[in-house]
Amino acid sequence: MSQKSSVPPARVPAEKLVSDIRRATRKHHSAEDKIRIVLEGLRGEESIAALCRREAIAESLYYAWSKEFLEASKRRLASDTARAAKSFFSLAFSSSSVRSRLASDTSRSPNLPFNL
């Protein structure tokens, strides 16, 4: 007959075991996959429910990704617009010919909102 070990095996609580299994089996989507899925949803060729079933994601996850995507796009467009305006005005008012033309223009008010 074989003898059992007198040291009891280390027991892991059931909740921790379940959470470890869920964490190990959770899907991790790349940024490219998220963008592709959100753009497919924005195209509207199929319903969001059908898209989410095909991609095996929850609709709430799709809408969270969509919200992040649109907010990031809005921030990017705002920064691009500000940068373009700044570069346009710095180029437009840096040339001496523009300065002399503005200074000699008599139709303009002498109280310009900027220095020449």
Dist. CA 33–CA 69, nearest whole Å: 12
pLDDT tens digits, 43-71: 999 999 999 999 999 999 999 999 999 99
Dist. CA 50–CA 33, nearest whole Å: 17
pTM: 0.53
Dist. CA 57–CA 55, nearest whole Å: 6
Note whether 63 and 35 are within 8 A (CB). Answer: no
pLDDT per residue as tens, the chain (116 positions): 556 656 555 677 888 888 888 777 778 899 999 999 999 999 999 999 999 999 999 999 999 999 999 999 998 888 888 777 777 767 666 655 666 666 665 555 556 555 55
Q: Hey, where are the domains in the chain?
A: 29-104
